[in-house]
Amino acid sequence: MRMTAAVMYEQGLPTPFAESKPFRIEVVELDGPGQGEVLVEVRAAGLCHSDLSVVEGLRKRPLPVVGGHEGAGIVREVGAGVTTLAPGDHVAMAAVAGCGQCRACRSGRPGLCQAVSAARGEGLLATGARRLRLGDQGRLNHYSGISAFAQYAVVAPQSLVKIDPAVPMDVAALFGCAVVTGAGAVFNSAKVKPGATVAVIGLGGVGLTSVMAAREAGASQIIGIDVLPEKFDLARAVGATHCIDARDPDAVEQVRELTNGGVDHAFEISGSPAALGMAQAIAARGGEVVGVGIGRTAETFTVPHLNWVSEERVLRGSFMGGGVPQQDIPAYADMYLRGRLPVDKLRSEHIGFDQLNKGFDQLRSGAVVRQILLPHEF
């Protein structure tokens, strides 16, 4: 079929993106679905910070690629051998998809599946196929096995999670990345207990979801930290008990004072080494730093050796929520429907394809939380 999609040919173009146009809106060909694949009509797709870091060229990707890794839509066709989904099902598209067979997948950690992350790195679907074409100019790459900045997507069923149709599409779109990552970091990785103290550095879509999840887990203090105080009202509305400007010279002292020596769990969502340093400085003795934001390829950071050992600190990585999206997303959707995880508050605005590049300028400025591309509406 022919459809409209946002294609990136080059990474690291200069800002503003509204002018350099990293995404070109093209009519492309989509094949399939083949054996073990599903055709989804994409109804909504979120603009995420990790898309931005690919636009900026911080992590290299095979090009050209159709972008987008957080979306929701309706199943329109299933390929041979697909038994878990049927046309008409509402689905969230999740960037974590395991093969289901390997040791990581069998132990409930599909985010660590090597086979699928290798396929992702080569611009392929989890099935190893490539279904996108640009006329006679040849194959286009898939992004994270999803490519949701398009009117339709062919994906492997492992990348899809059936979701209650009561969840609006522009909210469902957030579950596959922002929600599963932010909530999973709290519930699966840190296993926050009632009464625990928590700090969240970086109050975008993922961080605000972590704030909501920490409230749901019963954390006694939830300290939101960001360089943009404009975000504090929303953070307080979803559960932050205190907010601190990361640029305050005494920001670390303020956290240590509020919490009597530091937090049990310091979530670092922004992906910056400076913020990781702050997370280490505000973690209590015996506390942990939970790294959620993805850094640049090959970037390193420093850990104070003595203090790490003698104060029994934990340094924990949490990738895409560290859980099983097929189990976690329906649970989080149920919490949303019961008003326990108000992730609809993350939505900033709806945009069309022609506003996509400008949308990344806005995301970069921090002025918005989650802009939602509606591929059929504009």
Binding site residues, Zn ion, CB under 5 A: 48, 50, 98-99, 102, 105, 113, 177
CB 103, min distance to Zn ion, A: 8
Question: Min. distance of Cβ 50 from Zn ion in angstroms?
Answer: 4
Nearer to Zn ion, 221 or 357 (CB): 357
Closest approach, Cβ 60 to Zn ion, in A, equals 17
The nearest distance, CB 24 to Zn ion, in angstroms, is 21
User: What's the min distance (Å) between Cβ of 106 and Zn ion?
Assistant: 8
Q: Is 290:268 a contact under the CB 8 Å cutoff?
A: yes
- Of 49 and 265, nearer to Zn ion (C-beta) is 49
192-221 burial, b if ≥16 CB within 10 A, otherwise e?
Answer: beeebbbbbbbbbbbbbbbbbbbbbbebeb
CA 53-210-356 angle, to 5 degrees, is 35
In the bound complex, what is the minimum distance in angstroms from residue 204's beta carbon to Zn ion? Answer: 10
Task: Say if CB 49 and CB 5 are below 8 A apart.
Answer: no
Classify 128 in phi/psi space as left (phi over 0), alpha (psi -120 to 50) or beta. Answer: left
Residue 108: how many other CB atoms lie within 10 Å? 14
Neighbours of 34 (CB within 10 A): 14
Structure tokens belonging to residue 246 = 């990361």
Nearer to Zn ion, 98 or 295 (CB): 98
Nearer to Zn ion, 48 or 129 (CB): 48
**48/279 with CB nearer Zn ion:** 48
Alpha carbon 215 to chain centroid, angstroms: 20
Give dist(CA 205, CA 86) in Å, integer.
Answer: 30
Q: Which is nearer to Zn ion, 95 or 235 (CB)?
A: 95
| Residue type present at position 201 | I
